[in-house]
């Protein structure tokens, strides 16, 4: 039976992805910082879908803990067929006011971790000529909305590069670029989201379902929701001064 590894697997997009993959019959390696919650999710998914689960407690800002996940991804005896780089968080403060250590952690989780984890798993995928990598980016990667936006821009472009590099193989690499999705993400970041109209929110299960469909079809970018398809298209063709202004306005409303 094939095995999938999901980071940030206890809630939100990661939790929804773990459930979807379990439903499709994948054994799971679940990665997160909260071990009790991780074990609970693993037990529930194993019981509901009759799959095998492994848990790796890891804070991806810590090199030694990140290395544990890399080692599992590099395994040739129990190869990983699907990698979902989902772990992440946001910082609501302006870069001028934010804590530098927190900014470094943002880069560690959103940039360094997916890069290193992809690098760890790809040799085995290439050898088997089979595999899927889903990088959970953001529609924010198309605007200039703070260091979170900048980090997600890296992830989107990195995905596009890998997708092209591997175009002659059976390995699929796709970036999920969601907009505002109903998860714990904004609450954990203490972001003010009360003024956002209901039509701007998307359902996490629908987001993940579309992402997986796109990934299996070999499509490099998935932007769930008509509203975000429109906004991302405008962001990519509009003059950059307008895009920059819109990005800073979005950031200020979240503080």
The pLDDT tens digits for 158-208 are 999 999 999 999 999 999 999 887 655 444 545 454 566 676 778 999 999
Interval 208-246: pLDDT, tens: 999 999 999 999 999 998 788 778 777 777 666 666 666
Convert 148-157 to b/e letters by CB count within 10 Å (16 or more is b). bbbbbbbbbe
Nearest residue to 14 (alpha-carbon basis) of 24, 3, 4: 4
* Under 8 Å between Cβ of 105 and 88: no
Between CA 170 and CA 50 the distance in angstroms is 28
Residue with tokens 């699929």: 172
Catalytic pick among 148, 154, 214, 228? 148
Nearest residue to 251 (alpha-carbon basis) of 88, 86, 95, 89: 95
Which of 60-74, 92-106, 110-124 is least confident? 92-106
Who's near 126: CB < 8 A, 6+ residues apart? 166, 169, 171
Higher per-residue confidence, 146 vs 78? 78
Q: Hey, what are 230's tokens?
A: 């429109």
- How confident is the model at residue 206, as a pLDDT? 94
Between CA 32 and CA 51 the distance in angstroms is 19
Q: In what order do the strands lie in the sheet with 171-176?
A: 53-57, 27-32, 3-7, 82-85, 131-136, 171-176, 221-222
* Under 8 Å between Cβ of 76 and 131: no
- How confident is the model at residue 194, as a pLDDT? 52
User: Is-catalytic flag, 148?
Assistant: yes
Between CA 186 and CA 67 the distance in angstroms is 28
What's the whole-model pTM score?
0.88
- How confident is the model at residue 187, as a pLDDT? 47
CATH class of 3-253: alpha beta
């Amino acid at each position: 039976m094939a095995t999938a590894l999901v980071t940030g697997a206890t809630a939100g997009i990661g939790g929804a992805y773990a459930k979807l993959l379990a439903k499709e019959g994948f054994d799971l390696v679940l990665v997160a910082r909260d071990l009790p919650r991780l074990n609970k999710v693993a037990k529930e998914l194993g019981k509901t879908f009759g799959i095998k689960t492994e848990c790796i407690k890891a804070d991806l800002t810590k090199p030694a803990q990140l290395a544990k996940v890399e080692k599992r991804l590099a395994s040739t005896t129990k190869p990983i067929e699907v990698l979902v780089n989902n772990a992440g968080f946001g910082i609501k403060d302006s870069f001028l006011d934010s804590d530098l250590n927190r900014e470094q952690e943002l880069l560690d989780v959103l940039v360094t971790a997916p890069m290193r984890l992809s690098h760890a798993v790809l040799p085995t995928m290439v050898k088997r000529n089979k595999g899927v990598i889903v990088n959970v980016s953001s529609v924010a990667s198309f605007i200039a909305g703070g260091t979170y936006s900048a980090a997600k821009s890296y992830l989107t472009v990195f995905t596009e590069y890998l997708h092209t590099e591997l175009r002659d193989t059976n390995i699929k690499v796709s970036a999920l670029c969601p907009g505002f999705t109903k998860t714990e993400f904004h609450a954990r970041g203490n972001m003010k989201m009360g003024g956002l109209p209901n039509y701007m929110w998307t359902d996490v299960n629908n987001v993940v379902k579309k992402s997986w469909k796109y990934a299996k079809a070999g499509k490099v970018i998935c932007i769930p929701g008509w509203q975000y398809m429109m906004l991302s298209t405008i962001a990519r063709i509009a003059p950059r001064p307008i895009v920059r202004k819109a990005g800073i306005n979005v950031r200020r409303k979240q503080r």
